Structure 1
Amino acid sequence: MWRIRIDATEERLALEVRDADVLLAYFYTFNIKDHRIDELKLQQHITWWQGLEDAHDGLVLLHGYADRQLGQHKGITALNATSGNMQWEQPELAFYGIASDGLFAYLTADPEADFSLIASSTGKNITDYVPQQEAIIAIDSYSLTRYSKCTYPMLYLQGGEYFSDLQVFLQQQLDVSVIKAIEYAEAGACFVASYYVQAGSDKLDNFVVVFDLEGHLLLQVQLGGSLDGIGSDTFFIFKDELYLIRNKNLLQVYKLPI
């Protein structure tokens, strides 16, 4: 599992899975309402040079690459999340972000120029010459509404005040010696923490736990073992459900108490 994006308006996930051994990428949609997963059928000989950009309003947005060595994005392809058919394409633009009235994009040939606002449903131009700061404000403002039902964890690094408090709590409750970092989020009648413990001389094991507000353990899951380092956003919560990726290839969803 390489990347996940949330289409909050349609209650759907978009997933990108990459297989480096055969240089293929696969894209899926996951319907949150009925937990159904569907593959988006694409031409496999080009998918390695495509990536998941975002998902919004029933569309899955993919990018290509202008410079494959540097990873510079070029092109926007909008796929219908239900049918998998291409709804529109803008090969010369690069995606910047989503606002309430469309997508902001820029010409890859002139990345210093102002942005364009294009319609998310058609890819057609709405307005040009939007200053970057104006685009940033519009995107940030819409994100508050767009992700109002989604919670991502806060990352606390070892040595900080909040890390120490959580470290002591986890040691008392689970008898574990937590190191490096802890991710933490609250939702409804519980809280969730992702933590790391030493595994061998230079490896880490990563676990996610759920406690109720009285400190009772409700769930403990190992996300990964023998890791080289810490990650970020190891879980997220959407509409009172906890989403986990175990061992980079298994999506698990748990209903949280509210």
Structure 2
Amino acid sequence: MNITPINCFQEGIQFATTGKIWKIITDSSMPVIIVQTRDGDAYQTAFTAINIQSQTTLWQDFTLEESWWVGMSLLSQGILLLHTYPDTQKPQPQGLIALEIASREVLWQTEELHFYEVIDNQIVVTSSTTSSNSYLTIDIKTGNVLERFQELPTGLTRKNENKSMIFPFHYQDEMAYFQTVAVFLKKKFNLQIVQAVDYLEYDNFIIISYFYDNAGDLMNNLLVLDQNGQVLFHQNIEKQLTGIGLDTFFVFKNELFFVKHKTLLQSLKL
């Protein structure tokens, strides 16, 4: 397979870690991403804050007292909301811990409130002390309850917490769009893709993350084309996979982000 790219992109961040990169979230109001890593040998979950504009690490490998059963709910207004998993037999996110990015200080925490969603830019939570049909909105800086609803008001627009991140369409091999992309890659580059493909048209770019078989090993490559089909970038990002993944890349603030071999986060300025 010989696809020679122009490599015309300016490189953005490069963040390498010893643990596996587990999750990445962003804040639409600022050029900051938070990277969650997990080290299965040490049973440790850590968090790193990166300013993608200055390409600097604000802080790295931050851990809580509970260093394994913890995850990220939301990043908003410079505050990271974390959740824990009190019942390890039923890993359901519970509780909230508000961490200020600038100071790395815990502003507040509670075991009673559980993150639900961002709706019309309001942070909606549920409470373990009230009815399961009861919803509350909170002030992210203080944790104070602002409003209570028995049911969510009609007309509110539910949004994914990562709405500032642009993810590709994921097409599995039984879908018509998979076949369309597969035929295109076969005709243009003689590529034989398998199982699934991630596809995104962004600005003047076509971004494709495809899977293929290499002597029995499942591989994953990232390909970026311009609208004329010229190859701008082409690299392997994962080898010897046991299965396919979702969201193998995303775009945030005109940068393409992807993880290579589970331990290296890179970006390209589009």
* TM-score, L = length of structure 2: 0.85
CA distance in 2, matches of 1:181, 1:238: 23
CA RMSD, 1 decimal: 2.1
Count residues in correspondence.
Answer: 249
Superposition deviation, residue 232 in structure 1: 0.7
Gap runs ≥5 in structure 2: 1-20
1:89 aligns with 2:109: yes
Instruction: Classify the secondary structure of the residue corresponding to 2:158.
Output: helix
More RCO (CA 8 Å, sep 6+): 2
1:210 aligns with 2:224: yes
Determine if contact 2:256/2:268 at 8 Å carries over to the other structure.
yes
Determine if contact 1:243/1:254 at 8 Å carries over to the other structure.
yes
CA distance in 1, matches of 2:88, 2:154: 26
Instruction: Classify the secondary structure of the residue corresponding to 1:195.
Output: strand
Superposition deviation, residue 49 in structure 1: 2.1
Which shows bigger deviation, 192-201 or 176-185? 192-201
CA distance in 2, matches of 1:225, 1:77: 36
Cα distance per residue 1:3-47 (max 9 Å; x no partner): 11111111211111010101111011111211222226334x522
Superposition deviation, residue 111 in structure 1: 6.6
Match of residue 39 from structure 1: 60
Classify 1:195/1:84 alpha carbon distance in 2 versus 1 (closer, same or farther; 3 Å). Answer: same
Paired residue type of 2:89: Q
CA distance in 1, matches of 2:155, 2:44: 33
1:51 aligns with 2:71: yes
Instruction: Classify the secondary structure of the residue corresponding to 1:113.
Output: coil
Superposition deviation, residue 211 in structure 1: 0.2
CA distance in 2, matches of 1:47, 1:30: 20
Q: From 165, 170, 174, give the equivalent of 2:180.
A: 165
Match of residue 194 from structure 2: 179
Superposition deviation, residue 150 in structure 1: 3.5
Match of residue 168 from structure 2: 153
1:237 aligns with 2:251: yes
Classify 1:159/1:138 alpha carbon distance in 2 versus 1 (closer, same or farther; 3 Å). Answer: closer
Superposition deviation, residue 164 in structure 1: 1.2
Determine if contact 1:15/1:52 at 8 Å carries over to the other structure.
no
CA distance in 2, matches of 1:130, 1:182: 41
Paired residue type of 1:27: F
CA distance in 2, matches of 1:33, 1:192: 22
Cα distance per residue 1:87-116 (max 9 Å; x no partner): 221221111112345311112355723111
Cα distance per residue 1:39-60 (max 9 Å; x no partner): 26334x5221211112111011
Match of residue 241 from structure 2: 227
Correspondences of 1:80-119 after superposition (within 5 Å)? 80-108=100-128, 112-119=132-139
Q: Percent identity?
A: 27
Moved over 4 A (4+): none
1:252 aligns with 2:266: yes
Superposition deviation, residue 79 in structure 1: 0.5
Instruction: Classify the secondary structure of the residue corresponding to 2:95.
Output: strand
1:195 aligns with 2:210: yes
CA distance in 2, matches of 1:59, 1:200: 46
Paired residue type of 2:214: A
Determine if contact 1:15/1:27 at 8 Å carries over to the other structure.
yes
Which shows bigger deviation, 113-122 or 21-30? 113-122
1:139 aligns with 2:154: no
Between structures 1 and 2, the one with greater helix share: 1
Superposition deviation, residue 205 in structure 1: 0.2
Paired residue type of 1:198: D
Paired residue type of 1:236: F
